[in-house]
Amino acid sequence: MYHFMKKMLKRTEFRFLVVGGINTMVGYGAYTLFLSISLPYLLANTLATIIGVINSYLWNRFFTFKSKGRALTEIIRFSVVYLFSYCFSMLFLYLIVGSLGVNVYIAGALNIIVVTAISWFGHKNFSFKAREKKSA
């Protein structure tokens, strides 16, 4: 079992899923906490997203992608990916809660799937993409 886990942890995709699991607990935990104190679901999603972005950036930079890139550039790129996924997330929530009447807790859980897919492709191909150095 130890060797299997060691082998799996070498895979970027597996580390992304581990971080995603941690971030899901943090983000969805924050979302449900904010709902439990009677915040509107869109505000709860916004606040949970902010918490999740900070948590996710740190884990993805140091654990998933093991980035040695320039932090400021990565933070900007990471934020752009999350801004895109956040906007899509808000539209998705608005449509399935507002138009289809889906329960806000179920909608939040479904939203995780959407954001995960957008995040994986965005962070892998944009936020933490290894930049080739120009040779002189």
Residues 41-99: pLDDT tens digits? 999 989 998 998 889 999 999 999 888 888 889 889 999 998 999 899 889 999 999 99
CB-based contacts of 20, cutoff 8 Å, min separation 6: 116, 119
* CA dist., res. 16 & res. 125, Å (int): 13
Closest CA to 94 of 104, 85, 106, 84: 104
pLDDT at 114 over 90: no
Neighbouring CB atoms inside 10 A of 71's CB total 12
Residue located via tokens 């082998």 = 7
Phi, psi of 67 (to 5 degrees): -75, 140
Closest CA to 44 of 104, 91, 84: 104
Band (119; pLDDT cuts 50, 70, 90): confident
Counting residues of the chain whose pLDDT is more than 70, the rounded percentage is 95
CB-based contacts of 119, cutoff 8 Å, min separation 6: 20, 56, 81, 82, 85
